[in-house]
Amino acid sequence: MAPIFSLVIVIIFLISTAVVSAATGPDYGFTVELIHRDSPKSPMYNPLENHYHRVADTLRRSISHNTGLVTNTVEAPIYNNRGEYLMKLSVGTPPFPIIAVADTGSDIIWTQCEPCTNCYQQDLPMFNPSKSTTYRKVSCSSPVCSFTGEDNSCSFKPDCTYSISYGDNSHSQGDFAVDTLTMGSTSGRVVAFPRTAIGCGHDNAGSFDANVSGIVGLGLGPASLIKQMGSAVGGKFSYCLTPIGNDDGGSNKLNFGSNANVSGSGAVSTPIYISDKFKSFYSLKLKAVSVGRNNTFYSTANSILGGKANIIIDSGTTLTLLPVDLYHNFAKAISNSINLQRTDDPNQFLEYCFETTTDDYKVPFIAMHFEGANLRLQRENVLIRVSDNVICLAFAGAQDNDISIYGNIAQINFLVGYDVTNMSLSFKPMNCVAM
């Protein structure tokens, strides 16, 4: 997982006989399916849990991995069970399938590799690089070795290595190499990206899940998947997230290249900034929030991101975390506008909850004002049902040493597009189930 958050995405790829090289492009477009970790399609699915158990689990993950988030600027401030989506792709020749957490805050693609001297328990078969005809270790003197961000010296070692640690003291270490990555698509075609830099982990420990093989970084660093795809996809990807517990047959989509364009009626864009401290994150500037037509609230808190940015966007975090002063003003205004009785969260995670057994309640006009982009949120972006008779505000306060995060509930039913070439992020209201 990478330096903080992520897109945790499980992308199930169907391997077909037609393989399209990344050189097909430029700006080749394809789409893959995103599978939520609690979906029946996910290896993490627990059939003994009901919908509200899964909601509680996702809230627990969202809250726990943001407690004491930033412990050391050298470490990647992330907890590696974070992320709500998984990604399935293949490494090597012949293609060897792996399932990994996809993280928009991470810069390195890594998987556990044989021989593994110190590995966490993995239920799936482990990648053996000796069986891949396209696997090559990276020389320490190669420019590709600089992708790791480490101070490598060929006077001490011939081959490049990587080492990454996370805020919960989990870590991954091993050889830095290049190999072919293949991904399937919803069209049935398979796309191959030869000579992709990956970490082959021989020492991996911590709170990694036994159902995943590693991490796929989708962040802003040079070793991330989207940066390594480069001109083949024009530096673009987008996704459209369906409501939690969606039972309408729709699935989440992850688009690359020309398929990732976000334009047309209702589309708005805001600049992506590179944080002074956390360069992997997609950092944005949130100027204000509105509740009703006359209540607009601004934050006076200083952001630890540095520079112009004050919030990151992350599809792997469930809740939206706002600076405490802004959060309480925002939450109180919503509470005063909803004609529902306040109550306690039965799971004791969320602060602003209300009693209702139906979904016919109304919410006021609610908008998030990013630099250059005003987003009107719908009810499903603001409130989440946690039991048969309780709904709660899907927002929480970020303490002084925490990073503010625009989470995935706030992104439901928006097509969200990342353009790392032009450093812009776009939103467009969309019925993601119908896509």
Q: What is the pLDDT of residues 391-413, one digit of tens each?
A: 999 999 987 678 899 999 999 99
Residue 27 has pLDDT above 90, yes or no: no
Q: Which H or E run includes 426?
A: strand 424-429
Query: CA–CA separation, 275 vs 309, rounded Å?
Result: 7
Please give the span between the terminal C-alpha atoms of the chain, in angstroms, as a whole number: 28
Examine the pLDDT at 222 and tell me if it is beyond 80: yes
Quickly list H helices, 26-145: 51-64
Answer whether residue 79 shows pLDDT above 50. no
Q: Provide the edge-to-edge strand list for the sheet that holds 320-323.
A: 283-284, 311-313, 405-406, 320-323, 395-398
Of residues 21 and 86, more confidence is placed in 86
* pLDDT of 26 over the 80 cut: no
Mean pLDDT in residue range 319-329: 93
CA distance 348 to 354: 13
DSSP β-bridge partners for residue 171: 165, 205
Residue with tokens 């002084």: 400
User: Considering only 152-156, 255-259, 339-343, which range has the smallest mean pLDDT?
Assistant: 152-156
**Residues ≥6 apart with Cβ < 8 Å to 157:** 140
Please identify which residue in the block is written with the tokens 């270790």: 137
Amino acid present at 85 = Y
Which pLDDT score is estimated for 1?
40
Supply the pLDDT for residue 80.
40
Give 293's pLDDT tier (boundaries 50, 70, 90): confident
Q: What is the DSSP letter of 220?
A: S
The boundaries of every CATH 2.40.70.10 domain in the chain are 10-253, 262-434
Please report, for residues 290, 332, 375, the alpha-carbon distance to residue 295 in angstroms, rounded to integers and kept in the order given: 6, 11, 15
| pLDDT, mean of residues 260-277 | 93
Q: Higher confidence at residue 170 or residue 66?
A: 170
Give the other-Cβ count within 10 Å of 269's Cβ: 19
Please give the average per-residue pLDDT across 3-22, as a whole number.
38
Tell whether the model's pLDDT for residue 282 goes beyond 90.
yes
Choose the weakest-confidence range: 248-252, 282-286, 366-370.
248-252
Pick the catalytic residue from 27, 103, 107, 345.
103
Mean pLDDT of the chain: 83
Question: What pLDDT score was predicted for residue 35?
Answer: 66
CB contact at 8 A, 310 and 269:
no
150 pLDDT tier (thresholds 50, 70, 90): low
Alpha-carbon distance of 101 to 204, in angstroms, equals 15
Annotated active-site residue in 168, 314, 345, 419: 314
Give the pLDDT band (50/70/90) at residue 154: low
In the chain, pLDDT over 70 holds for what percent of residues? 83
Answering whether pTM is above 0.95, one says no
> Does the domain spanning 262-434 belong to CATH 1.10.10.60?
no
* pLDDT tens track for 336-377: 999 999 999 999 999 999 999 998 899 999 999 999 999 999
What's residue 63's pLDDT?
Answer: 67
Q: Is residue 314 among the annotated active site residues?
A: yes
More confident residue, 189 or 173: 173
CATH code at 10-253: 2.40.70.10
The percent of the chain in helix, strand and coil, each rounded to the nearest 5, is 15, 35, 50
